[in-house]
Structure 1
Amino acid sequence: MERVRKIKRQLSMTLRGSNSGDKNLPESISSQDTGAHSDSEAMPGGGSATLRGSVRGAGGSFSMHSLLQSYSSALHRPRSLGRSLSSYLNHTTRLEIVHEDVKMGSDGESDQASATSSDEVHSPVRVRMRNNAGRKISTEDINKRLSLPADIRLPDGYVEKFSLNSPLFDKPLSRRLRRVSLSEIGFGKLETYVKLDKLGEGTYATVYKGRSKLTDNLVALKEIRLEHEEGAPCTAIREVSLLKDLKHANIVTLHDIIHTQKSLTLVFEYLDKDLKQYLDDCGNCIHMHNVKLFLFQLLRGLSYCHRRKVLHRDLKPQNLLINERGELKLADFGLARAKSIPTKTYSNEVVTLWYRPPDILLGSTDYSTQIDMWGVGCIFYEMATGRPLFPGSTVEEELHFIFKLLGTPTEETWPGITSNEEFISYNYPRYRADCLHNHTPRLDNDGVDLLSKLLQFEGKKRISAEEAMRHSYFHCLGERVLTLPDTTSIFALQDIQLEKETTMRTSSISDS
């Protein structure tokens, strides 16, 4: 009787996920020959544990219920009892049975110490099967798990190594394991990328064309020099912190960040040219259908940013990148800012002069997403005409160009302007507003109407990016462009295509 109780306790602790118990018990029992029924006793609750379904082990498919039946019948045959129990325990070890009520740690092991496990057997005993016993992890699984590009080449043997170290696929991946996994693949390492050509150089950074050894794809390497006294420039920190959270088809993708003692390198997707280069290559005369597609994509990317309270603050053709397919993407978020709470502390020295709105030129620091919309209007005009709208070299000259076209503001057109000290000091002539149609002959009535809604003196009167996308100027693109997922390009729609430019200095993007 006492031996049978010990066997039952051993089985109970096994079902709880415990590894404790008298390991020599089966041998000692199998070595003895006792009466057939002298020590037999039914298990509490009916003599069998209730198990859900059937399981598949290394030896094939079988029923857990049949294993317990073997154990129950062995109670009546003491000679075979040890062999049956030992066989059952071996099967449960291979199958990784885990008691449902046992709390599992992050490493997949029980958080409960076996020494404190209760000897009570609850009926029915509830167990669940780990889902990775026969799970073969593929490259696609890892790509999805780590959010990797579909065309990435993983190092030899990495799939097997990840299979051993990764927790169950129905559990979240820890930040530490994700960081280690990405590092083992090659992310965060300079040797993963090959520099090809220098694309440009600025005060803090140099941009190179490069190639990723992981995918063989071209990338843009923005190498930021680190000063020992100052560390990383605030523009770089701001760009990284914003771009890692912005995932959109019309915003440039940040692939990787490499930090060394001397530099901080940002690895971006590579696009063939910027809008300024595109204008130059087609002789400053973009096909008007392409103007519409570029403008819509600009508005679409901005709308995504503005919904997340992010201002770009430095819109200009040089910061709008275009690839061979005609996809336009916002880039260079070094001056961007997340605006979650309205504030009046922003610097007014942030926007390139030609695309700077008049309220900022006159010293306003109280602005929101509307600061970007004036720049959109200037870029729209430049694409439609092939020349910059307000090419001033100083603040005074910039304002002069603006007032000469749109008219010198009055209290009726801009309430409060006559008390602005900056405006008073310039003492501008009284210009009357000119008709925009006279300056944009290639724009239709809808285009001119949209342009006028973008070029409003007061920020609060400018049309928003979301509203502009729904303007009648874009009705010919169809309704579906307004409902695409954020990460889907407008060119995923069959009826959206870039037109061939009549003149293109290099190979036309639409021919590529």
Structure 2
Amino acid sequence: MDGYEKLEKVGEGTYGKVYRAREKATGKIVALKKTRLHEDEEGVPSTTLREVSLLRMLSIDPHVVRLLDLKQGQNKEGKTVLYLVFEYMDTDLKKYIRSFRQTVEKIPTKNVKSLMYQLCKGVAFCHGHGVLHRDLKPHNLLMDRKTMMLKIADLGLSRAFTIPIKKYTHEILTLWYRAPEILLGATHYSTPVDMWSVGCIFAELVTTQPLFPGDSELQQLLHIFRLLGTPNEDVWPGISQLPDWHEYPQWRPQSLSSAVPNLDADGLDLLLKMLHYQPSKRISAKMAMEHPYFDDLDKTYL
């Protein structure tokens, strides 16, 4: 790690701390993700190797944060530490949204459109390569404020779902962006869980407020049901068979425009398709890119 000079800690990632650092030879600013290794394992854990090989493969897409290098080092106790070296991005979508929340201004429509298109494009790329993110949220979407370039980060929890889908652990996603099938205990889920998150992020970009800010799994479901109506077998066949399905208060669906008032008809149509209860009917990232909402967007450099 002598080739890098740590500048400051910028956060905690899935596997460890993240630092802003300078590559001494070039002066280039990078992000170092320090991963904790289990002491009892021989060599590098397979989870880390899986993350690295996935990231290497996905790094070719402009909307996935680039993995530049991998370094092995020792900490003060003499234990092995792995450093993943990523390109450095100056902000993330969470900070970007927050900067507007503090003013009366809304995020310009063309910016919302550009960011959403890039997000759909990055997600389509991951899904096309058999990778599910499962933790999409504004904090995990890095961006460059000057160019408005958006990149998906923290794919550490993704698993290649081209391998037969095993039971996933529940406690992964931040509640606000968590798909209802996961909240209801589904153990076999797929790409639509990411599209639900994309929909929640879309609404938040438009209003600068989270769409479903639940603070427990039950509260989260009730937030969703209050807006979209309490689902049943008619709108979502098989829902009553999900492990955590109970009898819930019965709400009628509200108009989405009441929750996201400054979104045009095309935008509301796209959002509704992302927030479809039945996962198999939810719009895919690839289809979302073709939606009329993006027709007037200049996609030349996206």
TM-score (norm 1): 0.55
Q: Is the 8 A contact 2:239 2:245 kept in 1?
A: yes
Q: CA deviation at 1:268?
A: 0.3
* Residue type at the aligned position of 2:62: A
Alpha-carbon distance between aligned partners in 2 of 1:197 and 1:233, rounded to the nearest angstrom: 27
Q: CA deviation at 1:343?
A: 2.4
Q: Is the 8 A contact 1:225 1:263 kept in 2?
A: yes
Q: 1:421 to 1:314 in 2, by over 3 A?
A: closer
Alpha-carbon distance between aligned partners in 2 of 1:279 and 1:234, rounded to the nearest angstrom: 36
Deviation track 1:196-232 (CA, whole Å, cap 9, x = no partner) reads: 1111135741111111123321100111233422465
Pick the aligned partner of 1:205 from 6, 9, 16.
16
Q: Is the 8 A contact 1:342 1:368 kept in 2?
A: no
Mapped pair 1:240 → 2:52: yes
Alpha-carbon distance between aligned partners in 2 of 1:373 and 1:209, rounded to the nearest angstrom: 30
Mapped pair 1:462 → 2:274: no
Query: What SS does the aligned partner of 2:148 have?
Result: coil
Alpha-carbon distance between aligned partners in 2 of 1:354 and 1:378, rounded to the nearest angstrom: 8
Query: What SS does the aligned partner of 1:422 have?
Result: coil
In structure 2, what is the equivalent of residue 316 of structure 1?
Answer: 137
In structure 2, what is the equivalent of residue 365 of structure 1?
Answer: 187
Query: What SS does the aligned partner of 1:364 have?
Result: coil
Mapped pair 1:249 → 2:67: no
Q: 1:397 to 1:340 in 2, by over 3 A?
A: same
Q: 1:203 to 1:253 in 2, by over 3 A?
A: closer
Query: What SS does the aligned partner of 1:476 have?
Result: coil
Mapped pair 1:354 → 2:193: no
1:409-488 matched pairs, under 5 angstroms: 409-424=231-246, 427-478=247-298, 481=299
* Residue type at the aligned position of 1:295: M
Mapped pair 1:385 → 2:238: no
Pick the aligned partner of 2:162 from 340, 344, 350.
340
Q: CA deviation at 1:253?
A: 0.3
* Residue type at the aligned position of 2:40: E
1:143-158 matched pairs, under 5 angstroms: none
Q: 1:203 to 1:305 in 2, by over 3 A?
A: closer
Greater RCO between the two (CA within 8 Å, min separation 6)?
2
Mapped pair 1:407 → 2:229: yes
Give the unaligned 5+ runs of structure 1.
1-189, 491-512
Q: CA deviation at 1:410?
A: 1.5
Q: CA deviation at 1:470?
A: 0.5
Q: 1:311 to 1:203 in 2, by over 3 A?
A: closer
Q: CA deviation at 1:416?
A: 2.1
* Residue type at the aligned position of 1:411: E
In structure 2, what is the equivalent of residue 270 of structure 1?
Answer: 88
Q: CA deviation at 1:457?
A: 1.2
* Residue type at the aligned position of 1:469: M
- Alignment length (residue pairs): 291
In structure 1, what is the equivalent of residue 124 of structure 2?
Answer: 303
Q: Which has the higher strand share?
A: 2
Alpha-carbon distance between aligned partners in 2 of 1:233 and 1:395, rounded to the nearest angstrom: 31
Q: 1:237 to 1:300 in 2, by over 3 A?
A: same
Q: Is the 8 A contact 2:131 2:158 kept in 1?
A: yes
Q: CA deviation at 1:344?
A: 4.2
Q: Is the 8 A contact 1:316 1:355 kept in 2?
A: yes
Q: CA deviation at 1:236?
A: 3.3
Q: 1:376 to 1:234 in 2, by over 3 A?
A: farther
Mapped pair 1:396 → 2:218: yes
Q: 1:199 to 1:466 in 2, by over 3 A?
A: same
Alpha-carbon distance between aligned partners in 1 of 2:155 and 2:15, rounded to the nearest angstrom: 14
Q: CA deviation at 1:436?
A: 0.3
In structure 1, what is the equivalent of residue 77 of structure 2?
Answer: none
Report the aligned-residue RMSD. Answer: 1.8
Mapped pair 1:291 → 2:112: yes
Deviation track 1:39-82 (CA, whole Å, cap 9, x = no partner) reads: xxxxxxxxxxxxxxxxxxxxxxxxxxxxxxxxxxxxxxxxxxxx
Q: CA deviation at 1:235?
A: 5.1
Alpha-carbon distance between aligned partners in 1 of 2:258 and 2:5, rounded to the nearest angstrom: 50
* Residue type at the aligned position of 1:238: R
Give the unaligned 5+ runs of structure 2.
75-79
Q: Is the 8 A contact 1:344 1:367 kept in 2?
A: no
Q: Is the 8 A contact 1:219 1:268 kept in 2?
A: yes
